[in-house]
């Protein structure tokens, strides 16, 4: 299963900020770490700000975390970036086809259960967990 790339970028941004609390953060500095365009970073930051995870000041350097990394679950980040279900059913199956007419009903329960499992798993992890893993990986290389 492949998530929207914005989710991974959002986790990168939040972990970077969590690990570099003493630095001023801008969309440009964050884009350099992520290796993407600052516009992409600003779009993601907008979603994170709407979710109450970061504070951005337009025209001024200074993007800050509104919560500590150990207070932000991966589910919160997921909901900020992917407000809709990870699974979307076909909106207009052929209702005259016996299979098409019943397909959404047949798979709905399975997808609801899978979504619930994913959300329960993401709820158990925090941005600080990702930050710690990144730090461990850096130490392993050195």
Partnered with residue 71 across adjacent β-strands are none
* Alpha helix stretches (DSSP H) within 26-142: 27-34, 38-50, 74-81, 98-123, 127-141
CA–CA dist 19, 13 (Å, integer):
10
Question: What does the pLDDT look like over 80-136, one tens digit per residue?
Answer: 998 777 777 888 989 999 999 999 999 999 999 999 999 999 999 999 999 999 999
Question: What does the pLDDT look like over 46-74, one tens digit per residue?
Answer: 999 999 999 998 766 689 999 999 999 99
| Tokens standing for residue 13 | 């941004």
Query: Could you name the CATH architecture of 5-88+126-132?
Result: Orthogonal Bundle (1.10)
| Tokens standing for residue 59 | 């025209």
Considering the entire predicted model, what is its pTM?
0.86
- Map out the domains of the chain as residue ranges: 5-88+126-132
């Amino acid at each position: 299963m492949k998530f929207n790339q914005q989710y991974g970028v959002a986790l990168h941004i939040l972990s970077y900020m969590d690990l570099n609390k003493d630095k001023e953060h801008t969309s440009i500095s964050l884009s350099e770490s992520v290796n993407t365009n600052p516009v992409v970073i600003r779009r993601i930051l907008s979603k994170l700000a709407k979710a109450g995870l970061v504070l951005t000041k337009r025209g001024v350097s200074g993007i800050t975390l509104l919560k500590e990394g150990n207070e932000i679950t991966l589910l919160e980040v997921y909901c900020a970036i992917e407000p809709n279900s990870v699974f979307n059913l076909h909106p207009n199956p052929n209702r005259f086809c016996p299979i098409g007419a019943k397909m959404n009903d047949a798979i709905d329960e399975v997808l609801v259960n899978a979504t619930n499992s994913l959300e329960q798993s993401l709820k158990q992890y925090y941005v600080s967990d990702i930050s710690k893993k990144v730090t461990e990986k850096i130490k392993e290389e050195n």
